[in-house]
Amino acid sequence: MRHRILALAAVFALGACGTAEEPKAAAPAELTVWIMDGSVTQDLLKKFETEYEAAHRGIDLDIQIQAWDGIGERVTAALASTDAPDVIEVGNTQVAQYSASGGVTDLSAKVAELKGEDWLPGLAQPGRIDGKQYGIPWYAANRVVVYNKDLFAEAGVKEPPKTRDEWLEITEKLNQGGNQGIYLTGQTWYALAGFIWDEGGDLAVQEGGGWKGALDTPQALAGMDFYRRLQALGKGPKDADEANPPQHEVFAQGKVAQIIAVPGIAARVLEVDPKLKDKLGFFPIPGKTADKPGAVFTGGSDLIIPAASQRQEEAYELVKALAGEQFQTELAKAMSFVPNRTSLAGVLSGDEGTAAMAKGAAHGRATPNTPNWAAVEATSVIKQYMTAVLTGGDPAAEAKKVSEAITTTLNSGS
């Protein structure tokens, strides 16, 4: 196919003479950027667009907000098209499969220039396949415990818990009267992942040439057992995840003492009930011992440039700006995100929520680094496993079943 060869040629040209100046075109070059819904506020995007266009004459940014439904297929279609968007934001658990497909531009040569030495591993690793960097870390967020200060005071809980045992203890105390100690839905699997990592287990492990689901290890089962005990201290539905119904809407009813969420959720809670403004508290998810908070899943996004983008150079310039220090600082402040480089983490100290998140971020982990992990997520097998255990299924048997399913999915060639 001719356009493929052209695109490839463009990539090689870029690698060979990365700084070559293109002759300025008369008409502004339109750069299309896909940003996920909810990643960046409209105001911040508008500000960025204005400043960027002023600083880069001849560039016209077309920032398109993408809805979450069907995004996987849309990105796949874009990568396979002849005239793709120039920069796409993709989730860090998704980026590996796109990188492996051959439809994404290899940016290995740019890592140094982008100060890749202190990128967050949870974002940089999934963007790297076979030693080549395709995904450029953009931002991250990890979960903390968001709590209702009024309900804590009411129950006589003065200090946020430091260990898991304390956590269970106070949550039990909070789970009184009409109040829920914690609203933890049965399928919040990112939280489960953290508990499993704390126990020394993992979701899946690399074994020989392949992958193996590891939810049936004693460590993983211990993590699930803790999840079960915690989940029972509230009325979180056992057969739903935190997005359905959105947990911030439940929390905003004022009868839920704690939820596990990224700190950015505070803004959503206040949208539902502004009266909770000074009543929201945050603490890192407790670990097994007081000296170290619990391990957390690092969620976030990478930026990719499709090989089929017709403006590779301009696209790279844009990625550089989006991943650069100035925008990262603004983004982290506006959205309560962790910036893409550890040296920028200082911007988070000002705010209670992000400070709690930064403490946890030091123990951030990523999902198994394989292109097929996205498929494990999409088929919801872990969620269904959790529901099965929480509704009385035999943990060992269920864990064995789900581990086998994960093994099959991860080793299915792509």
Q: Is residue 280 a contact residue for other proteins (CB under 8 A)?
A: no
361 near 298, Cβ under 8 Å?
Answer: yes
In the complex, minimum distance from the CB of residue 262 to other proteins, in angstroms, rounded to a whole number: 8
Q: Is residue 391 a contact residue for other proteins (CB under 8 A)?
A: yes
In the complex, minimum distance from the CB of residue 84 to other proteins, in angstroms, rounded to a whole number: 7
CB atoms within 10 A of CB 191: 26
Q: Which of 313/398 has CB closer to other proteins? A: 398
Nearest of 96, 73, 184 to residue 367 by alpha carbon: 96
Residues 178-197 that bind other proteins (CB under 8 A): 186
Q: Is residue 70 a contact residue for other proteins (CB under 8 A)?
A: yes
In the complex, minimum distance from the CB of residue 163 to other proteins, in angstroms, rounded to a whole number: 29
182 near 235, Cβ under 8 Å?
Answer: no
302 near 104, Cβ under 8 Å?
Answer: no
Q: Which of 64/289 has CB closer to other proteins? A: 64
In whole angstroms, what separates CA 142 from the centre of its chain? Answer: 7
Q: Which of 41, 244, 289, 326 is the binder for other proteins (CB under 8 A)?
A: 244
Nearest of 306, 359, 257, 300 to residue 77 by alpha carbon: 306
Q: Is residue 176 a contact residue for other proteins (CB under 8 A)?
A: no
Residues 288-307 that bind other proteins (CB under 8 A): 307
Q: Which of 271/394 has CB closer to other proteins? A: 271
**Cα 266 from Cα 198, distance rounded (Å):** 26
Instruction: Output the six-digit token pair for 340.
Output: 């893409």
Q: Which of 117/271 has CB closer to other proteins? A: 271
Nearest of 227, 175, 172 to residue 199 by alpha carbon: 227
Distances (CA, A) of 131 to 357, 371, 413: 30, 14, 20
Q: Which of 9, 13, 205, 243 is the binder for other proteins (CB under 8 A)?
A: 243
Q: Is residue 314 a contact residue for other proteins (CB under 8 A)?
A: no
Q: Is residue 236 a contact residue for other proteins (CB under 8 A)?
A: yes
**Cα 250 from Cα 256, distance rounded (Å):** 7
Q: Which of 11, 29, 45, 100 is the binder for other proteins (CB under 8 A)?
A: 100
**Contact region for other proteins (CB under 8 A) — 62-70, 132-140, 218-226, 338-346?**
62-70
116 near 323, Cβ under 8 Å?
Answer: no
Instruction: Give the contact letters, 16-45, x = binds to other proteins (CB under 8 A), - = no.
Output: ----------------x---xxx-------
Q: Is residue 412 a contact residue for other proteins (CB under 8 A)?
A: yes
Q: Which of 163/179 has CB closer to other proteins? A: 179
Q: Is residue 83 a contact residue for other proteins (CB under 8 A)?
A: yes
Q: Is residue 268 a contact residue for other proteins (CB under 8 A)?
A: yes
Backbone angles phi, psi at 87, to 5 degrees: -135, 135
In the complex, minimum distance from the CB of residue 42 to other proteins, in angstroms, rounded to a whole number: 9
Q: How long a stretch of residues is the chain? A: 414
Q: Which residues contact 88 (CB under 8 A, 6 or more apart)?
A: 33, 34, 75, 78, 303, 304, 305, 306
